[in-house]
Amino acid sequence: MAKRDPERTQKMRIAVRYLLERDCLAKGNQSRLAEHFHVSRQRVHQIVVEERRRLGWGGEGAGLLNGATVAVPSAQGATPFLYALRPQESQG
């Protein structure tokens, strides 16, 4: 396993911050960054999550950590959907 290059990581962090601040980190951009910096997409994602936290945006699940509430729909709304998924009972 190759050792991480701190200079490359720093450049990648700058690029990720730039894209995050301009709200330009759309789908597919992490893959492009990974190709450009010759790292895995997972490594780019790790840096994106770290930079979101550093910028105070939180990242996945941040709303729960910041005291936000989550609206959960009632189970009654899911009932027709659940019945549709149930296998048909054979007659006979």
CA pair distance 8, 62, nearest whole angstrom: 28
What string of DSSP letters covers 39-92?
S-HHHHHHHHHHHHHHTT---TTHHHHTT-------GGGGHHHHHHHSPPPPP-
**For the segment 8-65, what is each residue's pLDDT rounded down to a tens digit?**
999 999 999 999 999 888 878 999 999 999 999 999 999 999 999 998 876 454 444 4
* Global pTM value: 0.59
**For the segment 63-72, what is each residue's pLDDT rounded down to a tens digit?**
444 444 444 4
